[in-house]
Amino acid sequence: MRVKAFSLVAASFMATSAGHAQTVSAPIAFAVCAGCHSVQPGKTVFGPSLAGLAGRKAGSVPGYAYSPALKASGLTWNAATLDRWLKGPQRLVPGTRMPFPGMQDAKARKAVISYLMTLR
Ligand code: HEC
């Protein structure tokens, strides 16, 4: 079920990026995130939408049921905090509900973060 949902989301994600020529295209490494995150404002998949992430306070999308840990983290998303988050979400925010072990490849993290910083 989860695999099926993932491919559906991935397919619609690719279709969406193809439909907007002016949008910066997502790096390959973002595919693993796209199963749980939309980049369209207000669209929840499993995780919160990542639209407008740059400069946003952690846990601040209205209506999304965040973990108390992430809401209380006091983080603001920028290249530095995202680098630590993507390296090890549970290490940066113990108790977060993002079920993601982390991305150890620094280049892949950098590609994903540069992309995230462009999302409006
Ligand atoms: C299996 C699902 C899943 C995957 C894969 C996943 N996430 Fe998440 N993500 C979540 C959930 C759930 C939350 C909310 C966590 C919480 O409330 O503690 C979250 C939260 C976040 C947040 C904080 C958003 C906010 O509004 O504060 C960011 C940023 C984020 N994820 C980025 C990513 C990126 C980038 C990737 C890919 C490298 C990724 N996530 C992969 C499920 C996922």
Between 12 and 108, name the one with better pLDDT: 108
pLDDT at 20 over 80: no
Residue whose CA lies nearest to ligand 1 atom number 28: 50
Between 80 and 20, name the one with better pLDDT: 80
Span 74-117, pLDDT tens digits: 999 999 999 999 999 999 999 999 999 999 999 999 999 999 99
- C-beta separation of 14 from 26 below 8 A: no
Span 31-55, pLDDT tens digits: 999 999 999 999 999 999 999 999 9
Location of structure tokens 């603001």: 76
For the Cβ of 89 lying below 6 angstroms from any atom of ligand 1, the answer is: no
For the Cβ of 59 lying below 6 angstroms from any atom of ligand 1, the answer is: yes
